[in-house]
Amino acid sequence: MTAKDFARRFASNRMALAGLLVILGLFGVSLSAGFLSPGDPDRPDLRARLKPPGSGHLLGTDALGRDVLSRLIWGSRVSLKVGLVSVGLATAIGLFFGALAGFYGGFADGLIMRFCDLMLCFPAMFLVLAVISLLEPSIWNVMAVIGLTSWMGVARLVRAEFISLKNRDFVLAARALGASDARLILRHLLPNALAPVLVSATLGVAGAILLESGLSFLGLGVQPPTATWGVMLADGKDYLSRAWWLSFYPGLAILVTVLSYNLAGEGLRDAIDPRR
């Protein structure tokens, strides 16, 4: 499939295209947070506590008088950073172990896949909670823990692709010409196995953002006063009856972001797979 065919197939899926546009918009907002933010997201103003959405504060203020819109904009940067970095780490680890298992097979395949099975036996949230409770809560620890506990799906995908590709004619021809194992993996097999990995990574970003928000909500993720959507939800849970905007807007941001990544990932899968 050519790039033109792929672009045409993807653009024909309106929901996926809408998801991609929202994702690009979120990237633009996060990169321009310093220009778009109406004020300092961490500066309290006790005289403006719990002000409802209005002309002075478009999305209202929180219990410390901080502007909700400013915190929402800066929180997008943290949430997207956690999603992309953690999924990037998980993808790199999954590519490495999946390539080894699929290419060499035998003992290496059995050892790696049994370790994957062992990791998959634990519910993801409980596994992350168990690991991160032993560490100091911070954005870097959150990204590392999510990445180190979510690579198994990528490894399985890469392994399956390598098993189906390693006996193809172009690989056998390269081996007959004296290509080393590293060259076969990096030059011939890996580029042809990346399509499902790209789809998995796109969907994984949504899961990582949800997981980070849950950890921050529980107080085990990014710590206050840093603005993240999960922290904003935790701050607003005590004011649901008289300050609905404190939980509504960060919850809506999480919903729209996760939905957009899922729609884009589904559209990407449909565009890549010619059988769909």
Mean pLDDT of the chain: 86
Give me the pLDDT at residue 50, please: 84
When pLDDT is averaged across residues 19-42 and rounded to a whole number, the result is 88
Please check the confidence at residue 275 and state whether its pLDDT lies above 70: no
How much is the pTM?
0.86
Sign for the CA dihedral angle at 24, 27, 31, 34 comes to positive
**Helices 194-217 & 139-148 angle (0-180, nearest 10):** 130
Mean pLDDT across 85-102: 92
Residues 200-227, mean pLDDT to the nearest whole number:
84
Q: What is the pLDDT of residue 93?
A: 94
Domain range enclosing 12: 3-32+58-272
**49 domain-assigned:** no
Count how many domains the chain has. 1
Whether 260 is in a domain gets the answer: yes
Amino acid sitting at position 100: L
Q: Are 88 and 197 in contact (CB under 8 A)?
A: no
Q: Which CATH number do you get for residue 137?
A: 1.10.3720.10
